[in-house]
Amino acid sequence: MTLARRASAEFTGTALLVAAVVGSGIAATRLSPHQVGLQLLENAVATALALTALILTFGPVSGAHFNPVVSAVDWWLGRPARTGLTGRDLLAYTLAQTAGAVGGAILANLMFGLPAISVATTARSSSNLWLAETVATGGLVLLIVALARSGRAVTAPAAVGAYIGAAYWWTSSTSFANPAVTIGRMFSDTFAGIAPASTPAFLAAQLAGGLLAGAAIAWWYPGTAPTAADVVVPHAEQEAAPR
């Protein structure tokens, strides 16, 4: 499976994920005006189900990371045993995921008759939200890699979807947990949007969560297993390339 093919799967999968997040947020506000709790429930359920389906769809091609932190941790933890992504893969995946996220927000805007790009104005800037993003991202990465290293990556689609759906509710930030998705959500001034001024702190918190998860994985799941490269799910062999 060539890198171009895998990167295109990451682009498309991330785009559809953001389209699901933003689109379901728009639909929720229209279907349930003035009922914020119900809007969040509708948004969470749609996102969790869409994420599960997208992992099942694109996982066999690229692993279905859809998240630069997941890709970065896969690259870092895989270096000693030469499993996981190469440095070139990581760059390609990150660019594809970020571009896909922006494209997904634009797609959602257009599907609901809104301007293609509307810069979000929803401020999400407080220390409790940054803490929530650190915890949400760390928990997500820990879940994914723990499943891979224990030979249970086949359960990842359901497990990851369930985690994100639940984290909408048990984190104060509603669990963005993904730098690419965070960037994409800047381009839609809707229920799921985040103001550009709030984004850098969210990105920093997500990276911190990834680092903490990497340390936890090294402690709780040392070494690698034959299936350790199956992040998020078992997928095609990668091209041989220098790291």
Q: What amino acid occupies position 147?
A: L
Determine the Cα–Cα distance for residues 28 and 20; give it in Å rounded to an integer: 12
- 239 occurs within a structural domain: no
The answer to whether 224 and 83 have CB atoms below 8 angstroms apart is: yes
Count CB neighbours of 143 within 10 A: 18
Give the pLDDT score at 95: 98
Determine the Cα–Cα distance for residues 186 and 196; give it in Å rounded to an integer: 6
Give the pLDDT score at 225: 61
Could you tell me where the DSSP H helices lie in the chain?
3-31, 36-62, 68-78, 87-111, 127-149, 156-170, 179-184, 199-220
Domain range for residue 149?
Answer: 3-220
Q: Tokens 């799910």 belong to which residue?
A: 233
Give the pLDDT score at 241: 46
The answer to whether 104 and 19 have CB atoms below 8 angstroms apart is: yes
Give the pLDDT score at 67: 98
Indicate the pTM of the whole model.
0.93
The answer to whether 196 and 87 have CB atoms below 8 angstroms apart is: no
Give the pLDDT score at 1: 79
CATH number at residue 72: 1.20.1080.10
The ranges of the chain with pLDDT < 70 are 224-229, 236-243
- 233 occurs within a structural domain: no
Q: How many domains does the chain have?
A: 1
- 155 occurs within a structural domain: yes
Report the Cα 107 to chain-centroid distance in Å: 18
Give the pLDDT score at 85: 92
Token pair of 123, please? 């401020």
